[in-house]
Amino acid sequence: MDTQPRYTLGDRQDDGRYPVTVDNTTEAGYVYRRHGSWYGVMPGQTEARRPDRFQAAYHLVRLIDAGHRPAEKAGLRLTSAARDLLISPHLRLTAPNIVRASEATARLAELGWRPLTGYPGADQSWRMACLLGCGWKGTRFWSHLRGRNGDNTPRPMCRHRGCIPQSQHADRIAAVATQAPDCTCEFKHVTTVVEAITYLPLALSAEANGWYSTAVHLARLLGPCPAASVRAKALRTALDDIL
């Protein structure tokens, strides 16, 4: 590896990506960390797993030297804001991952949180906003909020530094939590098992048609909705039936 790297790592983005520029001129893709490993991604090429961010970035240098460039169409699909706000592009778009994302976003709504990026997976940092009136935005781990080892108590109990007093949490959460029995949105979301069985496969098959089709179907399954908890239960039942 060169003493003076030919790549430049940009600042960490909200979704955990570090943009990579080669030779100070060519935007090559990005690197990100997941489960202890680093991945180098050039849209349109197979991503490479490496032990650290530097080797992951250097993988993109080699791709540039081999004549590859980020594919505009693939990059558009991978970086679509509509899709990324629902589920992280780092996750495989599978039925179990969609159902887990639905359950996680529904639980956040019940606890007074609003996700600012797509569901990243159980043990990954997730950018979100606290809805209890303090204005806080930052990253939390979903695995901490859902509880662990059979204990469903979210942690930490104080939520975050600078939040309102813990004694006020229950009343404030009850005021902002959304747990309606049915969807009242202009764009109809899934709330029944029949609908879940219909739209879950459509979201998966839509990916082959591009990011827009995928985002539309995913919006029915993961978009903000006052009946998010009902939807999550319907999707879980549908998944058990499908599998």
DSSP 159: -
Condensed to tens digits (0 to 9), the pLDDT of residues 49-98 reads 999 999 999 999 999 999 888 764 333 333 445 667 788 878 888 899 99
The pTM of this model reads 0.67
- Taking each continuous run of H as one helix and of E as one strand, the counts in the chain are 9, 8
pLDDT at 208: 52
pLDDT at 147: 67
Q: How far is CA 170 from CA 35, 67, 126, 131, 158, in A?
A: 34, 58, 23, 12, 12
CB 40 within 8 A of CB 17: no
Instruction: Tell which residue, 87, 100, 107, 108, has the closest CA to residue 239.
Output: 100
Three-state DSSP at 46 gives coil
Q: How far is CA 79 from CA 33, 114, 186, 226, 242, in A?
A: 17, 21, 26, 27, 29
Positions of the chain with pLDDT under 70: 1-3, 14-15, 71-83, 147-152, 178, 206-213, 243
Within 8 A by CB and 6+ apart from 223, the residues are: 86, 185, 187, 189
Within 10 angstroms of residue 114's Cβ, the number of other Cβ atoms is: 14
Cα Rg of the chain (Å, integer): 20
- How far apart are the C-alpha atoms of 134 and 117, rounded to whole Å? 19
pLDDT at 34: 83
